[in-house]
Structure 1
Amino acid sequence: MRRHFVHFLWGFLTVLLGFIAVFFISVWNGWIGYMPDMDELSNPIDKFASQVYSADQQLIGTWNQDNNNRVAIDYNGLSPHLVHALVATEDERFYEHSGIDFIALGRAIVKRGVMRQASAGGGSTITQQLAKQLFSEKAHNTLERLLQKPIEWIIAVKLERHFTKEEILAMYFNYFDFLHNAVGIKRAANVYFNKEPRNLNVTEAALLVGLCKNPSMFNPLRHPGRCMQRRNVVLMQMVKSGYVTKDEYAELSQRPLGIHFTKAKPVNGSADYFQAFLRQYMMAKKPERENYQAWQNRQFVLDSIAWEQDPLYGWCNKNTKRNGEPYNVNTDGLRIYTTIDTRMQQYAEEAVRKHVGGYLQAQFNLASRYKKNAPFSSNISRRTIKEILNRSCRQSLRYQRMKEQGATPEEIKRSFRTPHEMTLFTYHGDIDTVMSPIDSIRYYKSFLRAAFMSMDPHTGAVKAYVGGIDYQHFKYDVVMGGRRQVGSTIKPYLYALAMQNGMTPCTLAPNVQRTYGGWTPRNGSRARYGQEVPLRWGLQQSNNWISAYLINLLGPSQFVNILHDFGLNNPDIDKNTGPVLCLGPCEVSVGEMTSAYTTFANGGIRCAPLFVTKIEDSHGNVIAKFQPLMTEVISEVSSYQMIDMLRAVIQGGTGSRLRYAYHLTADIGGKTGTTNNNADGWFMGITPDLVSGCWVGGEDRDIHFDNTAMGQGATTALPVWAYYMQSIYADKRLGYSQNTKFSIPPKFNPCQAADTINVNGIQEEYF
C-alpha cells in the first residue's frame, strides 16, 4: 500500500513536471498567452511606435500603445545614484540572475503565499517588472494575474538574453510614469528637480526610485511626509547594499525633499493638439451612420466628405500592409513627415499664451469679480447656468465611469459635491488642492479658450496648429474638432461673390438700414449714413447694412453655393439660407476658415490644409505621398480685388491696430469678426506667403466679456496674430520678409473689370 502511494506521488510529480514543462514551452513559443516576437523585444519601449517628424526635420513625437510621448536616454545619462537606489531597493541580486531570482521567488512564495505575511516583499526582479510594464495588461482578478506571471518570467528571460544589464536598467527608468506628466526618468528629473538625470544627487535619486513602488501614494507634492519616509527606506536599503554608509544615512535622512517642481512642458514645437488630431484623423474608419448618435448627423456628413475627398483621412484603414491587415500608427513603426515647422509652432503657442494667458485672462478675471454668476454672463439665469453645469457633469469621465459601475443618481450627485484631492491648471503652473468636482468644472470654465492655425496659401502646408491653451488640461481641439460662429469674418466670401458678379471695390451701395423679409439688420456705426458708399469702405468698416444689401441683391442660395466652394461644408449652412447668413451665424472651424482665406492670397484657388507630405514604413520605404488639394473658387481678377479690400481693413478699418499698435509694415489683408454678445472673437489675416486664423472665446457661448471693447475680435484674436507674425518676421531663418508683396500686376486697377454692368442704377465703366 505504501509502495503504491509512493508510486502515485512519483507519477503525480512526473505528470506535474511534464505539465509545467509543456506549459512553459507553450508560453515561450506564444501558443498560450501573449508573447512578443524577437523584433518587438529588440525595441520594447516603443513597440514599433510611429515617429512623427516636422518639416524642419525634428522628431516631435512618437505614437505607441500607451499614448505616452517619452524622451528616452541611455544608461550613460543616468546618475549612478539612480542605479544603486533601484538595485538596492528592488533587486539586490540583479547582476547575478538571468531574469528570475529564484531565492527571492521562493521567499515570496513561502512568506506571502503560505505564511500570509503582507510585508514579506515580492519576488519580482527589475527585469520582470519591466516585462510587466511593457507587455502585461492590467489584471482584473487574482487568477488573471497568476496567469500573467509565467509569461512575464519568460519575457524577462528573453529580455536578459537580448539586452545587457545596463540597457535593462535604462529601459526601466525610461518607461516608468512618475506622475505630473513626467513619463520617463528624463522628464521626472526635469519636473521634480529641474535637473538632468545624470546630475541627480543621492537623496533625489532615492526619492524618484521610491516613487516606483506607488507614485500616487508617495506623491511628493500631495504627501511630502509619506514621500520622505519612503525616500529614507530607499536610503536604508542602500546602506544594506553598501552604497551608503550609516553615517551618511544619518545626515541624508534629515535632508528636506528639495523639490524644485517645474510643470512638464512639451518639447518646443511638438504641437500636442496637432499630433492628437493627426493620430485620430489617420486612424479614422469609414463613416457608418449607425456608429453616430442621432445628434451627430452634422459630424457624420463632415466625416463622410473627408473620407471621400481627403486621402489622409482614414489612411490607415484605406491602405493595407503586405499581409492584408490595415495599418496601425501605434504598432507599425511608421515615419510620418508633417508640414509643421517647430519654430513657427513655438511662436504660435507663445503668441496664444502671451495674449490670452498673459493679458486677456487677467482682464476677464477682473471683470468676473463683479458678476454674481461668474464666469457666466450676467444676462443669463441661474437655471440656465445649472443646466450648463449639469450637462458638463454628464459629459465628464467621472460621471460616465460611475454610471458604468452602477452608481445611483444620488451617489453620482454626492460624489460631484464631495471635495477630492486634485491637480488644477493655472498659467503659473499646476497646483494641488482639495475641491469638489462640480466646483472644478466651474473653475475650468473660467478660462478663455483659443485656437490658431497658420498655413502656406500656395502649398496648403500647415505650419502651426494650436488647438487650445493647454493640451494636458483642455484637450478639446477647436482648430479642426470644434466649430464656432464666425461673425463678420464670413463677409469676404460675400464680397468675393459680388466681384464674381461684376462688381468692384468701387461699386457704390446704399448705406441705409432696410428690412428684408421681416429681418432688420443692426449696425455698430452710423458713419456716412444715407450715402452711397464704395464696397471697399463697406468691408473696411464691417458694415452690416452693406452686407445685407449684397446678399439681398445676389441671393442667399448663390451665397451658400460659394461658401461650399470655399470649403465650408457644415450642413447647417444649407438650413440657414436666409439673408442673416451674411452676418456669420453659421459655425465653422478655424481650420476651415484658414483654408478658405487661402483663396484670396492664391489667385482665387483654395488650398485644403496639407498636414502630411509622406509616410514611410518601418524599413524606410515610402508608402504614401500627399499633394495639396486645390479648388478654383473665384477668378484671379476677383482675388486681386479682394486683396485690395482686405488691405483696406488693415489700413483704416477694424484691423488697423496692426499698424499703429503692433507696428507691422508688411503687405497684409485681414478681417475681424465678433458674434452676438461678444461670444466669439475672430481674426483672419493674409500675407503673400502665410494665411493664419485665430479664434478666442469661452467654452460655452454664455461665457464672454459683456462689453464690446474687450470682447470684439480686434481685441481678443487680432493680437495673437500680431504677436505670431512679429516673431515670424524677426526669425530670419524662416525666410519671411515684410518687404514681400502680393503677386498683383503692377498696373492692375481694382476698380476696373472686363465689361460694363449696371448695379443699383449706377453705370460704371470698365476696361
Structure 2
Amino acid sequence: MYSKVKILKETQPQLLKKKNLTLLLKYITGLILLGLLLIFLLFLLVYSDVFGKLPNKENLTAIINEEASLIYSSDTIIVGKIFAENRTNVKLEQIPKHLKEALIATEDKRFYTHNGYDGQSYARVFFRSILMRDASGGGGSTITQQLIKNLYGRQYHGFLSMPINKIKELIIASRMETLYSKDEILLLYLNSVPFGENNFGVESAANRFFNKSVNELKVEESAVLVGMLKANTFYNPRINPKNAKKRRNTVLQLMNNEAYLGNQTTDSLQKLPITLYYKNLDTNTSAGYFSYQIKKKTTEIIKTINETTNSNYNLETDGLKIYTTLNYGIQKMAEKAAKEQLVIKQKQLDKELQSNILKNRWLKDQEFTAKDKQERSLKLFDWDSTKTITGNTIDSLWHYSKMLNTSVLITNPKNGAIISWVGGNNFTTLPFDMVLSHRQIASAFKPFLYATALEKGISPCDYFENEEKTYKEYENWKPENADHSSTPDKKVALWYALIQSMNIPSVNLYFKLEKEWLTKSCEKLKFPEIIDNAPSIALGTLDLSLFETTRAYGAFANDGEMNDLYMVSKITDKEGNIIYESKESKTEKVFTKESSQTVTAILQQAVEQGTSSKIRSTFKIKSPLASKTGTAQNYTNAWFMAYTPNIVLGTWVGTSKNTIHFNSGNGSGSSLALPIIANILKEIEKDPKLKEQYLTSFNIPEEISSSIKCTAYREKGIKGFFNRLFKKKKE
C-alpha cells in the first residue's frame, strides 16, 4: 500500500508536466496555425490590391530604367551628367562574368534555380534571424525581390509595413520571373541598384570609383562594388576604405565558396589594396560651370523639340547624349593656368592686405549679428586645398571677400563655338558664374572706340592731343594716362595711343566722334544699353561680361563679322538618333573688313611693343597674336583679350566685390590676367594639332600694315610744322 502511494506521488508531477507540455504544444500549434492563417489572409489582401495596386504584366514588361543624359566634349570626353537619378544603363554583353558571379555568390547563390523567391532563405531567416536572434543569419530577399524594391520602393503601412512589403515583393517577383529571363533580371538589377552618393547602376558606380566602364572592371573591383550593396555608405571605399576592403574580401571568399575563384586566386586578390580613381562629375568635374550652362541650354532645346514635334523627351531620365563644342584638352589647360596664376597672386594680395586698414574698413561696411561672431569649425575652399579652420561667419566672409576669382572664355570666331568655359574657382563651393558677371571693362573697351573712329574715316596715323585737361562741364573730371605721363608739346598717333592704352588721346578721340556713332557700334556688338554716354566710356567705364567681350573680339578676328556663341553641337537619343543639330548662325556685320584688319594690325603691335609685350618677352609665345589688356580704376578688375583668326581667348580676374583689391601694379591686366592666357597659349603651342588648328597667321594686306607705319609722336607748333615740311622734301 505504501509503495503504491509512493509511486502515485512520484508519477503525478510527471503526468502534470506532460499534460502541461501537451497543452503548450497545442497552444503553440494553434498560434502557428493562426499566424499562418493571418499571413494567408494578409497575402490575399495584398494580392487583391487592398494595400495598393500591384504592377501587372503590362506594367512589368514596360520597365525602362531612368537613365542620365551625358554631356560630351568635342574630343569625346564625358564632362557632365544631367539626371534625376545618376544612372547610365549598360547592355548584357557589357557585364563581365566575374561581376555576375560576385553578385550571385554574395546576394543570391540560388538565383538560377528559384522562381523569384527562395524558400530556403525564408526558412533560414525564420529560424536563425528571428527565433535564434542570429544577426549573421542574413536576409531572405532574392535578387529579383531586391530589384522590385529598387524599382517600386516600399510604402508605409504602420506596424504591418514589413510583412506587407515583403509579400508585395514576393508576388511581383514571381510575376517578373515569368516575363524575363534570369539574365534580363540580372541586367535590370545592375542598372538600377543604388551605390550611394546619388549614384545608381553599376556603370555609374564603375565610372565614379574607378573611372572606367563596367566592362573594364577587374575581379577585385567588381567585388568592391558588390560589397557596397550591403551598406553603400559604410562600405564606401572612398569614405571608409578599411570597411570596404574587409567587405571586398568577404565577397571574394563567397565567390571562392561557390567555386567561382580558386584558393590561390582568392588569396592573392584579398592581399591587394583598393586602388581608386575617384571621379565625381557632380563636384569635381573640370567643366562644372560649362555643364551647368549646358543643362540650362538643353532644357530650352528639349522643351522646343517637345512642343514642335509632339515628343516627350525628358532630359533627366531618357539617357540623351549631348555633344558640345568644348575642347576638353584646352579646358584642362585653362583651369591649370588659372589655378597656377591665382595661387601666386593670392599670396601677393594677402601680403598687401596684412595691414588692418582695409579689413577694418570692410568690417565697418558689414552688418553682423551675435550668431555671426560665434566660433565653429568651418570648411573653406582655398586654391591650395579645402581647409578646415576654427572661426566664425565673419572669418568666412572675409576669406571669400579677399579671394581672387577668375573666369576664362575661349571661342572660335569663325562659327561662335565655345572651346573652353571656366566660370570661377570652384563650381561646388562658388557656383556663381563669373563668365556672365558684369564688370567694368576698362581699357579692353578701347579697340571698339578706335574701330568706330576708323569706320568714320579717322586714320590710324591721325594725331591726338596727349596733354592733361580738366573738363569743368563733367564735374572737373581730369583723365590721366595710367603712368601719369603726358606730352604737352607732342601729339600722339592713334595707332600708338591704342597699343600703349593711353587714356588722354582716347578721350580726345571720343570728343571727335558723334556720340551716337559709338552707341550704334555698341548696339551692333550686343552690349548692354548705354544709359549715360559720358566721355569716361572711352576709358572703359561700361560694365560688360566676359561672355559679351569675348564674343565682340570675335568680330575683329573674323574680319568684322560677329557670330553668336553656342555650345551644343547636337543631341541624340539613347539609340543614337539625332533629335537636334545646331545650324550655322548668321553672322552680324559689325565693322568693315578694313577697319577690323586695321585694329588687328594695331593690336598685333601691342604684343610686340605695347602693353601686351610680356606675352613675348616673359612667356616667349612665338605664334601670331593680337591682344589687349584692361585695368580698371584702382586695380579692381584685370582683363586680357587675345586672338588669332581661329581662336579668341579672354580672361577676367578680380575679387567678388570692388572694395578689396591690389594697390599696386600687381593688379594690372598685364600682371594679373595676361599670364593666364599666356600659359594656355604656351600649352597649345606644344600640341602640334592644336597649334595648327588655332594659332593661325593673320592675312593682313600690305596696305593695311603700311597704314600704321608712321611715327608715334609729332611735335606741335611751328617747330613741328617745319620738321614735317623738311621731312617731306627729303623724302
Short-chain TM bin = 0.7 to 0.9
* 1:464-483 mapped onto 2 (5 Å cutoff): 464-479=420-435, 481-483=436-438
Contact residue 341 and residue 676 of structure 2 kept, 8 A: no
Number of the residue aligned with 1:357: 339
Q: Which runs of 5+ in 1 are unaligned?
A: 1-5, 284-313, 391-408, 753-759
1:547 aligns with 2:497: no
1:718 aligns with 2:674: yes
Q: Deviations over 1:649-682 (max 9, x none)?
A: 1121111112222333333111111223433322
1:495 aligns with 2:478: no
Query: 2:145, 2:633 → 1: CA distance?
Result: 60
- What code does the residue aligned with 1:452 have? V
Number of the residue aligned with 1:455: 411
1:339 aligns with 2:325: yes
- Taking a change above 3 Å as real, the CA distance of residues 11 and 364 of structure 1, as seen in their structure-2 partners, is closer
Contact residue 75 and residue 167 of structure 1 kept, 8 A: no
- Taking a change above 3 Å as real, the CA distance of residues 271 and 184 of structure 1, as seen in their structure-2 partners, is farther
Query: 1:441, 1:242 → 2: CA distance?
Result: 60
- What code does the residue aligned with 2:481 have? N
One of 293, 297, 301 as aligned partner of 1:281? 297
Q: Which runs of 5+ in 2 are unaligned?
A: 1-32, 709-715, 725-731
Number of the residue aligned with 1:486: 441
- Taking a change above 3 Å as real, the CA distance of residues 127 and 595 of structure 1, as seen in their structure-2 partners, is farther
Number of the residue aligned with 1:289: none
1:214 aligns with 2:200: no
Query: 1:277, 1:75 → 2: CA distance?
Result: 35
Contact residue 99 and residue 160 of structure 1 kept, 8 A: yes
* 1:289-304 mapped onto 2 (5 Å cutoff): none
Task: Give 1:204 deviation, angstroms.
Answer: 6.0
- What code does the residue aligned with 1:639 have? S
Contact residue 45 and residue 171 of structure 1 kept, 8 A: no
Contact residue 650 and residue 677 of structure 2 kept, 8 A: yes
One of 673, 682, 702 as aligned partner of 1:746? 702
Decide which moves more: 578-587 or 233-242. 233-242
* 1:128-527 mapped onto 2 (5 Å cutoff): 128-130=145-147, 132-133=149-150, 135=151, 206-220=223-237, 222-223=239-240, 227=244, 230=247, 258-264=273-279, 271-283=287-299, 314-320=300-306, 324=310, 327-332=313-318, 334-340=320-326, 342=327, 345-353=328-336, 355-365=337-347, 367-368=349-350, 371-372=353-354, 378=359, 380-384=361-365, 417-419=375-377, 438=393, 448-479=404-435, 481-516=436-471, 517-518=474-475, 519-527=477-485
- Taking a change above 3 Å as real, the CA distance of residues 631 and 349 of structure 1, as seen in their structure-2 partners, is same
Query: 2:114, 2:418 → 1: CA distance?
Result: 52
- What code does the residue aligned with 2:599 have? M
Contact residue 46 and residue 168 of structure 2 kept, 8 A: no
Number of the residue aligned with 2:623: 666
- What code does the residue aligned with 2:362 have? S
Contact residue 513 and residue 545 of structure 1 kept, 8 A: yes
Task: Give 1:459 deviation, angstroms.
Answer: 1.7
Q: Deviations over 1:308-337 (max 9, x none)?
A: xxxxxx233333368735643234554544
Task: Give 1:275 deviation, angstroms.
Answer: 2.8
Task: Give 1:277 deviation, angstroms.
Answer: 0.7
Query: 1:655, 1:377 → 2: CA distance?
Result: 30
Decide which moves more: 732-741 or 135-144. 135-144
Query: SS at the partner of 1:451?
Result: strand
Query: SS at the partner of 1:645?
Result: helix
Query: SS at the partner of 1:685?
Result: strand
Decide which moves more: 497-506 or 573-582. 573-582
1:60 aligns with 2:78: yes
Contact residue 192 and residue 259 of structure 1 kept, 8 A: no
Contact residue 234 and residue 240 of structure 2 kept, 8 A: yes
Decide which moves more: 186-195 or 743-752. 186-195
Query: 1:521, 1:139 → 2: CA distance?
Result: 72
- Taking a change above 3 Å as real, the CA distance of residues 545 and 11 of structure 1, as seen in their structure-2 partners, is closer
Task: Give 1:595 deviation, angstroms.
Answer: 0.9
Contact residue 409 and residue 651 of structure 2 kept, 8 A: yes
Number of the residue aligned with 1:690: 647
Query: SS at the partner of 1:463?
Result: strand
How many residue pairs were aligned?
Answer: 671
One of 29, 50, 54 as aligned partner of 1:27? 54
- Taking a change above 3 Å as real, the CA distance of residues 92 and 705 of structure 1, as seen in their structure-2 partners, is farther
Q: TM-score by structure 1 length?
A: 0.71
Contact residue 361 and residue 447 of structure 1 kept, 8 A: no
Decide which moves more: 496-505 or 573-582. 573-582
Contact residue 464 and residue 494 of structure 2 kept, 8 A: yes
Q: TM-score by structure 2 length?
A: 0.75
Query: 1:560, 1:613 → 2: CA distance?
Result: 33
- Taking a change above 3 Å as real, the CA distance of residues 632 and 361 of structure 1, as seen in their structure-2 partners, is same
Query: 2:155, 2:638 → 1: CA distance?
Result: 48
Contact residue 52 and residue 338 of structure 1 kept, 8 A: yes
- What code does the residue aligned with 2:441 have? V
Contact residue 79 and residue 200 of structure 1 kept, 8 A: no
- What code does the residue aligned with 1:648 have? Q
Task: Give 1:532 deviation, angstroms.
Answer: 1.0
Query: 2:526, 2:222 → 1: CA distance?
Result: 55
RMSD over aligned Cα atoms: 5.0
Contact residue 345 and residue 672 of structure 2 kept, 8 A: no
Number of the residue aligned with 1:538: 497
Task: Give 1:213 deviation, angstroms.
Answer: 3.2
One of 101, 125, 128 as aligned partner of 2:142? 125
1:96 aligns with 2:113: yes
- What code does the residue aligned with 1:510 have? E
Contact residue 85 and residue 235 of structure 1 kept, 8 A: yes
Q: Deviations over 1:702-758 (max 9, x none)?
A: 55444322x222233222322333333443334726884333333336649xxxxxx
Task: Give 1:634 deviation, angstroms.
Answer: 1.7
Query: 2:463, 2:173 → 1: CA distance?
Result: 80
Contact residue 380 and residue 702 of structure 1 kept, 8 A: no
Query: SS at the partner of 1:695?
Result: strand
- Of structures 1 and 2, the larger Rg is shown by 2
Number of the residue aligned with 2:729: none
Decide which moves more: 436-445 or 87-96. 436-445
Contact residue 217 and residue 223 of structure 1 kept, 8 A: yes
One of 609, 614, 617 as aligned partner of 1:652? 609
Query: SS at the partner of 2:420?
Result: strand
Identity %: 30
1:732 aligns with 2:706: no
Contact residue 193 and residue 262 of structure 1 kept, 8 A: yes
Query: 1:587, 1:327 → 2: CA distance?
Result: 39
Query: 2:521, 2:153 → 1: CA distance?
Result: 52
Task: Give 1:441 deviation, angstroms.
Answer: 6.8
Query: SS at the partner of 1:526?
Result: coil
- What code does the residue aligned with 2:642 have? G
- What code does the residue aligned with 1:87 have? I
1:565 aligns with 2:580: no
Number of the residue aligned with 1:295: none
Q: Deviations over 1:416-464 (max 9, x none)?
A: 95438x7x76767778x68779567766667643322222212222223
Query: 1:358, 1:175 → 2: CA distance?
Result: 41
Task: Give 1:347 deviation, angstroms.
Answer: 2.3
Number of the residue aligned with 2:552: 596
Number of the residue aligned with 1:579: 535
Task: Give 1:609 deviation, angstroms.
Answer: 0.7
- What code does the residue aligned with 1:506 have? C
- What code does the residue aligned with 1:659 have? R
- What code does the residue aligned with 1:264 have? K
